[in-house]
Chains A and B, each alone.
Chain A
Amino acid sequence: MTSIIVVDFGMGNLRSVAKAFEHVAPKATVRISGDVSEIRSADRVVLPGQGAIGGYIKALHDTDLEPAVLEAARSKPFLGICLGQQVLYESSDEHGEDGDSVKTLGLFKGQVKHFTHVSSDPQAMLDPHTGHQYTIPHMGWNQVKQAIDHPMWDGIDDLARFYFVHSYCVQSELDEDVAGVTEYGVEFTSATARENIFAIQFHPEKSQHDGLKLLENFVNWNI
Chain B
Amino acid sequence: MGLAKRIIPCLDVRDGRVVKGVQFVDIRDAGNPVEVASRYDEQGADEITFLDITASSDNRDTILHVVEEVASTVFIPLTVGGGIRVLDDVRRMLNAGADKVGINTAAVFNPEFVKEASDHFGSQAIVVSIDAKQVEWGDNPRWEIFTHGGRKGTGLDALEWAKKMADYGAGEILLTSMDRDGTRDGFDLALTQAVCNTVNVPVIASGGVGNLDHLVDGIIEGHADAVLAASIFHFGDYTVQQAKQRMQDAGIEVRITG
Q: A12-B121, A16-B99, A50-B122 are in contact. Are A143 and B2 (CB under 8 A)?
A: yes
Task: Check A13–B95 contact: CB distance below 8 A.
Answer: yes
Q: Does B188 contact A (CB under 8 A)?
A: no
Task: Check A208–B1 contact: CB distance below 8 A.
Answer: no
Task: Check B75–A205 contact: CB distance below 8 A.
Answer: yes
Task: Check A50–B124 contact: CB distance below 8 A.
Answer: yes
Residues of B within 8 A of A (CB): 1-6, 41, 46, 71-72, 75-77, 94-95, 97, 99, 121-125, 171-172, 196-197, 200-203, 223, 225-226, 255, 257
A185 to B1, CA, bound (A): 11
Q: Does A80 contact B (CB under 8 A)?
A: no
Which 7 pairs, one residue from A and one from B, show the smallest C-beta to C-beta distance? A51-B122, A141-B255, A141-B4, A165-B124, A135-B202, A142-B3, A13-B94
Q: What are 23 inter-chain pairs, A to B, with CB distance below 8 A?
A: A13-B95, A15-B95, A16-B75, A51-B121, A51-B122, A130-B223, A137-B123, A137-B202, A138-B3, A139-B124, A139-B171, A139-B202, A140-B5, A141-B4, A141-B6, A141-B255, A161-B255, A163-B77, A183-B1, A183-B2, A208-B41, A208-B75, A212-B75
Task: Check A211–B75 contact: CB distance below 8 A.
Answer: yes
Residues of A within 8 A of B2 (CB): 142-143, 183-184
A176 to B11, CA, bound (A): 45
A184 to B124, CA, bound (A): 17
Q: Does A61 contact B (CB under 8 A)?
A: no
Residues of B within 8 A of A208 (CB): 41, 75-76, 257
Residues of B within 8 A of A19 (CB): 71-72, 97
Residues of A within 8 A of B197 (CB): 132
Q: A12-B121, A19-B97 are in contact. Are A136 and B257 (CB under 8 A)?
A: no
Task: Check B1–A143 contact: CB distance below 8 A.
Answer: yes
**What is the CB-to-nearest-CB distance from B45 to chain A, in angstroms, rounded to a whole number?**
9
A183 to B1, CA, bound (A): 8
Q: A163-B76, A206-B76 are in contact. Are A140 and B124 (CB under 8 A)?
A: no
A161 to B2, CA, bound (A): 9
Q: A135-B201, A139-B202 are in contact. Are A206 and B124 (CB under 8 A)?
A: no
**What is the CB-to-nearest-CB distance from A210 to chain B, in angstroms, rounded to a whole number?**
9
Task: Check B3–A184 contact: CB distance below 8 A.
Answer: yes
A-B pair count, CB < 8 Å, reads 100
A13 to B97, CA, bound (A): 8
Given A50-B124, A205-B75; 11 other pairs, CB 8 A cutoff: A12-B121, A13-B94, A16-B75, A52-B122, A130-B196, A135-B203, A140-B3, A141-B255, A142-B4, A161-B255, A184-B2
> CB within 8 A of A140: which of B46, B71, B75?
B46
Task: Check A140–B6 contact: CB distance below 8 A.
Answer: yes
Residues of A within 8 A of B171 (CB): 137, 139, 165
**Within A155-172, which residues are at the interface with B (CB < 8 Å)?**
159, 161, 163-167
Q: Does A58 contact B (CB under 8 A)?
A: no
A163 to B75, CA, bound (A): 10
**What is the CB-to-nearest-CB distance from B94 to chain A, in angstroms, rounded to a whole number?**
5
Give the nearest-CB partner of B4 in chain A. A141
**Within A42-58, which residues are at the interface with B (CB < 8 Å)?**
50-52
Q: Does A20 contact B (CB under 8 A)?
A: yes
Residues of B within 8 A of A51 (CB): 121-122, 124
**What is the CB-to-nearest-CB distance from A185 to chain B, in angstroms, rounded to a whole number?**
9
Give the nearest-CB partner of A164 in chain B. B3
> CB within 8 A of A206: which of B72, B99, B123, B226?
B99
Task: Check A140–B97 contact: CB distance below 8 A.
Answer: no
**What is the CB-to-nearest-CB distance from B243 to chain A, in angstroms, rounded to a whole number?**
15
* Chain A window 115-139, contacts with chain B (Cβ cutoff 8 Å), 1 for yes, 0 for no: 0000000000000001011111111
Q: A132-B197, A206-B77 are in contact. Are A159 and B1 (CB under 8 A)?
A: yes
Residues of B within 8 A of A211 (CB): 75
Q: Does A194 contact B (CB under 8 A)?
A: no
Residues of A within 8 A of B196 (CB): 130, 132
Give the nearest-CB partner of B45 in chain A. A208
**What is the CB-to-nearest-CB distance from B136 to chain A, in angstroms, rounded to a whole number?**
25
Q: Does A150 contact B (CB under 8 A)?
A: no
